[in-house]
Structure 1
């Protein structure tokens, strides 16, 4: 079904792997479309309760495949609106937790897409590079939206303006990633992290995701009202009933994602 990615469901986790290792998983038009389709497929599948997004081989993603654009007169705005923007928006629309497993270098749009995921884990030997400035461009694919919200404006400007490599340890220190795992068992550790999320109340997590992202665009009064709306929905889920029952019975809850 897919040519540039692989898609596999294991232990309630949909693993989406960008699969162009010979090109460091650089983006092509087909890959954009396939990632969107895979995210939609995971959203629809009730057996999927978390999404792990990673790369094959030595890289996470090296950004745009320049073979797609070299020698052409590119309408950069149209290029982004047609290819990248729909993909980044789909990460936000998918109301299940998405974990970027940064197994190797994430550069340019590859870094931006990692930031578009909800959580990020990184191999101790991996790195990130906000490489746009090195060719005179502006961070895109959500880079100017997510980066200052994750690390703060001052640090985001520094990373974008200098375009220097960010090591795994530095990424963790500044809050750019959530966990650093050893390189030798990175895939297993990343999957275990995703499995933990998959065991939690999926609808509640989806509502958390939706409400927090909306809260970035609203004032306090609007956010309070939206929290009340989201809580009404969460309070009617089977997982809420299970959580309360487990608390009363002094046992660990068993959430079903419903």
Structure 2
């Protein structure tokens, strides 16, 4: 067993992690591969997985590694310890020499944009608090699974800041202006149930089964048709800002791409053969 796998064994959060095939050693991030599932784990549990410069850089690197691995279909992002992430490391933040704007645009935006633009499915698995830009990271994923006692914490206003990392976009689109304003100006929390009701979270699990439930869902999704998944991800993102007329045209275009694929032929054959389809992404 490699050194990284031996080290990772001590940090496993579920029985599924014991099947990890490979990984890469970072200082503040664990990157593991289990079949068609990539697992990226924020690993500063003693700091509540707060983002410092090293973690920002390593998360970007881990996401690039996962995104460039053609064997992976679903990428899970989670936090080690009791919390997903408490947001930015305030001790580092207050000593930022060049202000926060450049940091947000040059060190956070690249990995947030990479997730949004990726052909793969990204799933955030949230326990404890997802606060500040940690919450933004979770909301930026395609899917979110949350522990029943977890929360989304918009703490920015409590220290005189405003939401960042795209949080304001997600919140106002899901909650509406008035509720989003109240949440942010009060520096308040949303419970897991409130997040699910608002459409910010897909599923809720109890803490004990959170990781296994998320992995089971990721495994199911990883058996789906990759071309269909990547085009529907792009289509739904575009539909949020497009007209009905333009959306119908875009659907027709992507449908033609999928119709021409080997996966469509396999899906139809599997349907008539009454068997599970084996999709290849071609």
Normalising by structure 2, what TM-score? 0.86
**Structure 1 residue 222: Cα displacement:** 2.4
1:158 and 1:235 mapped to 2: Cα distance? 46
Alignment of 1:75-94 (within 5 A): 75-94=99-118
2:171 corresponds to which residue? 147
2:140 and 2:38 mapped to 1: Cα distance? 17
Task: List alignment gaps of at least 5 residues for structure 1.
Answer: none
Could you tell me which of 133, 153, 166 is aligned with 1:129?
153
1:23 corresponds to which residue? 47
**Structure 1 residue 176: Cα displacement:** 1.7
**Structure 1 residue 32: Cα displacement:** 1.7
2:176 and 2:84 mapped to 1: Cα distance? 24
2:248 and 2:80 mapped to 1: Cα distance? 42
Give the aligned CA root-mean-square deviation in angstroms: 1.7
Normalising by structure 1, what TM-score? 0.93
Which segments of structure 1 move beyond 6 Å, counting only runs of 4 or more?
none
1:221 corresponds to which residue? 245
- CA 1:121–1:140 in 2, change beyond 3 Å: closer, same or farther? same
The count of residues paired between Structure 1 and Structure 2 equals 258
2:177 and 2:226 mapped to 1: Cα distance? 31
Answer whether contact 1:125 1:168 (CA < 8 A) is retained. Answer: yes
Give CA deviations for 1:38-90 in whole Å, capped at 9, x if unaligned.
22222221210101110000110100011212245552222211221112111
Answer whether contact 2:174 2:200 (CA < 8 A) is retained. Answer: yes
- CA 1:237–1:29 in 2, change beyond 3 Å: closer, same or farther? farther
Stretch of structure 1 that moved more, 114-123 or 205-214:
205-214
